Structure 1
């Protein structure tokens, strides 16, 4: 460890696998993408509903798509490219699972309505 990488007194540097291990980075990116898809739109809607009236919040909700700049920016930057790719994969897989389950539930409800 060089003198530039040494932690200040009392702080311990993360182990090598927390910083550079490919599996750790991939899993962290994937689950960050999963959490991003679930948490960000809900939190954004809650904040909009708290600040604005219902109709205004409903009109402003599509602005949540601006948050897609975060993973795209991570993919563009060379140092965070791998993390950003796996974050996008996590976001895509989560969206596919939610969409697929919604389609199956909707089909079931329409087919077996009483």
Structure 2
């Protein structure tokens, strides 16, 4: 009879991350959605911070619209068949996040101006 220690050693190393199912149907959807959320919220802030560290204020303001070039990444992922599902959910995450942020900001401004 084998002990538990011997059984644990018999498990191959490639099975170590078996819980990380890349082929699971919801894996691309969940990771794509949250990547889209992060893309909309963190990328512009990080880009602005990096520009501010490297350039003066006026130059940073002039260069900030180039953050739109980052949209080339999800668009390129839509073209390739292997990443298309991820990119579709990434766009959904981007649109939903933009709508929520815009809606909350408009409500806050409405109530602040109304008071």
Q: Structure 2 length as normaliser, TM-score?
A: 0.83
Cα distance, 1:12 vs structure 2:
4.6
Cα distance, 1:54 vs structure 2:
0.2
Q: Provide the aligned C-alpha RMSD in A.
A: 1.8
Unaligned runs of 5+ in 1: 1-8
Question: Does residue 90 of the first structure (1) align with residue 93 of the second (2)?
Answer: yes
Cα distance, 1:37 vs structure 2:
0.9
Alignment partners' CA distance in 1, 2:42 and 2:75? 18
Question: Does residue 81 of the first structure (1) align with residue 84 of the second (2)?
Answer: yes
Unaligned runs of 5+ in 2: 1-11
| Other-structure match for 1:4 | none
* Aligned pairs (5 A) from 1:1-114: 10-12=13-15, 14-15=17-18, 18-112=21-115
How many pairs align? 104
Alignment partners' CA distance in 1, 2:27 and 2:68? 28
